């Protein structure tokens, strides 16, 4: 009986090790730009997305971009795991805009 139990336990441990080695240590993310181009990044699941955001803004030469995933704001503190990101998920980058509304004329 002990050998059967030990063999089952060994099989479980072997299976877990195999699962850990086959899972990727990085998640591949895509930032979708307004002009239709995609920029791809690989990030560790539990690392903050601050490096990704900083690198993207630096490459574009702009500040004040807003990032969204499934309609929710992505901040520098978020991680891929916390957001539930999986391989090839898309994060949208948008310019922060102020104004743009109509101002009513005083005669109306």
Note the pLDDT of residue 75. 92
Note the pLDDT of residue 9. 56
pLDDT tens-digit series, residues 34-58 = 677 788 888 888 989 998 899 888 8
Distance CA 68, CA 2 (A): 54
pTM of the model: 0.63
Note the pLDDT of residue 58. 87
Note the pLDDT of residue 59. 84
How large is the average pLDDT for residues 67-95? Answer: 89
43-96 — its CATH code?
3.10.20.90
Query: Do residues 45 and 79 lie in contact, with contact meaning Cβ atoms separated by under 8 Å?
Result: yes
pLDDT tens-digit series, residues 2-35 = 444 445 555 555 555 444 433 456 777 777 776 7
């Amino acid at each position: 009986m002990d050998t059967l139990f030990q063999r089952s336990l060994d099989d479980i441990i072997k299976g877990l090790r195999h699962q850990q080695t086959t899972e990727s240590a990085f998640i591949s993310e895509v930032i979708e730009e307004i002009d239709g181009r995609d920029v791809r990044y690989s990030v560790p699941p539990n690392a903050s997305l601050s490096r990704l955001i900083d690198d993207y803004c630096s490459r574009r030469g702009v500040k004040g971009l807003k990032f969204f995933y499934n309609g929710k704001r992505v901040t520098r503190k978020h991680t891929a795991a916390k957001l539930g990101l999986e391989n090839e998920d898309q994060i949208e980058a948008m310019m922060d805009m102020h104004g743009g509304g109509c101002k009513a004329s005083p005669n109306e």
